Amino acid sequence: MPSFSNDNGNVYQACSDTSQTEETLLDNLTVTYKQNEYELNDSISLVNDSIEKSFNLDHKNDPRFVLNELRTKNLDRPIIACININFLENKFEPLKSITKENIDILLVSETKLDDTFPLNQFEIEGYSAPIRLDRNCLSGGIMFFIRDDLPNKELELHNLHNSVDAIFLEITLRKNKWLIIGGYNPHKGSISFFLNNIGKELDKVLPSYDNILIMGDFNSTVLEKEMQEFCEIYGLENLIKDPTCYKNPSNPSSIDVMLTNKISSFQDSITLETGLSDHHKMTITVLKRYFKKRDPITVKYRNYKLFDSDKFRHDIEIGIEKLNTLSIKDFNNVFMTVLNSHAPIKTKILRGNNAPFMNKTLSKEFMHRSKLKNKYHKNPTEINKLLYKKQRNFCVNLLRKQKKNYYNNSDIKIFADNRKFWQRIKPLFSEKNKLCRNITLVENGIIISDKLLLRN
């Protein structure tokens, strides 16, 4: 270091100390900034994790999300489900919004319907006409919903006691026949009588079927004597391992069963809280048999939204004037060219007949209801019970209000148009319908659904 006078040296030394201080301060600021940056990143990460956990928790309580995930995982495999609904009429629209396009075979038990409820009231676009067995408006009753491209037929039961709720179906999947039985046993004390009747009919048809699935609310678990003996006789096992009925939240039971003699043919068997049943969860399983999902229905139509008749006529005249000679072929070419310009052809895919009064508000409240019910199942306190019941009653009243508002706010013009009026009103009262379905024929006991075979 060069030598300076004392004064200059002192000045230099002071500048040196200042420079060192600034460097130290800068280093400290850098360290502090990095620490703050790390803390900020950690905070952001924690917030994101919290949001993600909250998002996942909310969607776990949304039955539609769970079923959509299951459908995505099993695009070309039949999904089968059953639920005790305890009066279908008021819960049909929410049930349809949850299950439509996600479940291929659905059994609903304890429907509590009679012949005053027209079949058309419970039809779903993309499904065959419901197969129903009614008891009365106070108890019992079952109903099957089956995707319309799944070849199926109902088997005739000649000796089944008229007090037993049971439907026998044959489902054909890639030349493999399945016997699917849906049933409802209203009381635990009648399980022996119920199973004896099922067993007698099963013995008659068993030689024709190697694959069996029996499901429904039996009001008895597979651990009870009568159920054990029935399962041992027919080599059945229960696919559902989790509790399904929470009538006694402190001691839930598995009385909604799915019994099969081909347990290795199923996967992803779960229970799902829908919030629709008073005490029961929906039981779901997936059949490990490939069955291609039906092709979507596409419709071509002309869009007349911007159509102007005067401009259309003017362009037709100009097109004709440009022709040297006018033939039918030339006129047709001019007409179609101008028409495609003014009213272009568009294509749309037909979706299911969603209830027009089902909206995001209703879906959100239904999801919240399921969330509260799951919370009550896990922690059955009086507070959680009251919160769930309050939300359940709120959802019922909200659904009624939305229906009322929808019909009250309907365009008055539909009353002047008979066609539109009856399209809106007729499904509520009539058995007739105009739903487009795939055709299935039964010829000599064989189910035929292939379009090429049907044409021949």
**Positive or negative torsion for Cα 415, 416, 422, 424:** negative
pLDDT digits (tens, 9 = 90+) for 212-231: 999 999 999 999 999 999 99
Please count the helices (runs of H) and the strands (runs of E) in the chain: 11, 16
- Angle at the Cα of 266 (from 264 to 269), degrees rounded to 5? 125
Task: Identify the helix (H) or strand (E) that includes residue 233.
Answer: helix 225-234
Q: Which of the listed CATH numbers 3.40.50.300, 3.30.300.130, 3.60.10.10, 3.40.50.720 matches domain 63-287?
A: 3.60.10.10
Predicted pLDDT of residue 143: 97
pLDDT digits (tens, 9 = 90+) for 406-441: 767 766 666 666 666 666 666 555 555 555 555 555
Rg, the chain, Cα only = 33
pTM score: 0.66
Most confident segment among 165-169, 248-252, 324-328, 337-341: 165-169
Q: Which amino acid is at 110?
A: E
Q: Tokens representing 384?
A: 């959680």
Beta strands in 17-103 (DSSP E): 79-84
List the chain domain ranges: 1-60, 63-287, 298-349, 360-451
pLDDT digits (tens, 9 = 90+) for 228-271: 999 999 999 999 999 999 999 889 999 999 999 999 999 999 99
Residue 256, burial from CB neighbour count under 10 angstroms (0-12, 13-18, 19+): buried
CA distance 119 to 127: 13
Q: Give whole-number Cα distances, 431 to 116, 120, 224, 426, in Å.
A: 11, 5, 42, 9
**Positive or negative torsion for Cα 119, 122, 127, 133:** negative
Mean pLDDT across the stretch 396-413?
74
